[in-house]
Amino acid sequence: MTESAATIQKALDESLEYARPYIEKGKVATYIPELANGNSRHIGASVLTMQGECFNSGDWQQQFTIQSIAKTISLILALKLAGEKEIFSKVGVEPTGDAFNSIVRLETKTHFPLNPMINAGAIVVASCCAEHSGSSSAAFEEFLTLARKLCGNKSITMDEKVFMSEKTVGMRNRSMAYFLQGEGVLSCEAEEAVDLYFRMCSTLANTRDLAHYALVLAGNGKCPFSGEVLVEEWMVRIVKTLMITCGMYDGSGEFAIKVGIPGKSGVGGGIMAMAENNMGIATFGPSLNSKGNSVGGLIIMEQLSQKLGLHLFSGNVYYQTPKIDLISPA
């Protein structure tokens, strides 16, 4: 192992162990019954570099549903199928400051969702995928094909139990979808859009898979291992910009200050983030704070950012281990 590789592995292991005691401050998501079965003590992380090095720690092999991280993949698919002009005629690009499942802005500000990273926006994006693929089932197959390429794993699939669990209790998302259909924003029927959205969120991955995806984004859409361009650069620019402004729900500003790289979280416990032209990072910990972000994952991300000088405005300065004050207890 090279000196630089040893430095990254040490930083990853230390960051994970530093974060471990904090996971007691959070709780697993319970509004989706199947997610309530998650082990709150799980915590894992992976880092992939442009040099082809892979570093793992903790419960990195544990699979989990990517939930809202799927919104970044579905947006890429929609941009491929429908184009930028059509997508952003139906969805905005501004942060909301509201919870990811809030419906209030649709009634009080604009019937167009403010960005694709909130549930309402993701449902509209899913409807565009369904329209241009011919059906929601065809769109999901295209989504899976894309997800497998981005994650570097041909075995990526959907968790049927989580999908059925979301479908059974997802009344708020249905409310959004029917409201959007009533306003003429959806490109397909409300039930079809919501069904596709639930399937996308129920996609399974581990941290190594998501770190590979993050590395593709860090390389502006090119897979550093195969050399294949998986996503056009203009699409990557849009996705990464939305991640840094909206990717961590209503905790995006705090994440931008504390970690300082584009990131996207999901209530399944995953966080994926990337350091430009450098590395892809992913963490897993189903114990969440009050904003729906992984307690352990947030601390690992902040620790790695500071230990490895990843913050966009850090100037690659190596920091001593800081006192952590990032956690908002659930």
Using alpha carbons only, give the angle 80, 212, 251 rounded to the nearest 5 degrees. Answer: 80
- Mean pLDDT for the chain overall: 91
Q: How far apart are CA 196 and CA 181, in angstroms?
A: 15
* CATH class assigned to 69-201: alpha beta
Q: Flag whether pLDDT at 328 surpasses 70.
A: no
Q: In the chain, what are the domain boundaries?
A: 3-62+206-308, 69-201
Task: Return the CATH superfamily for domain 3-62+206-308.
Answer: DD-peptidase/beta-lactamase superfamily (3.40.710.10)
pLDDT score at 100: 64
Position 148, amino acid: R
pLDDT score at 95: 84
pLDDT above 70 covers what percent of the chain? 90
pLDDT score at 230: 98
Sequence-distant (≥ 6) Cβ neighbours of residue 151 within 8 angstroms:
205, 209, 210, 212, 213
Q: Does 69-201 match 3-62+206-308 at the fold level?
A: yes
Report, as residue numbers or ranges, the catalytic residues: 68, 71, 197, 249, 267
| Span of 67-71, 143-147, 326-330 with lowest mean pLDDT | 326-330
| pTM attached to this predicted model | 0.92
Q: Flag whether pLDDT at 106 surpasses 70.
A: no
Q: Flag whether pLDDT at 316 surpasses 60.
A: no
* Confidence grade of residue 326 (pLDDT, cut at 50, 70, 90): very low
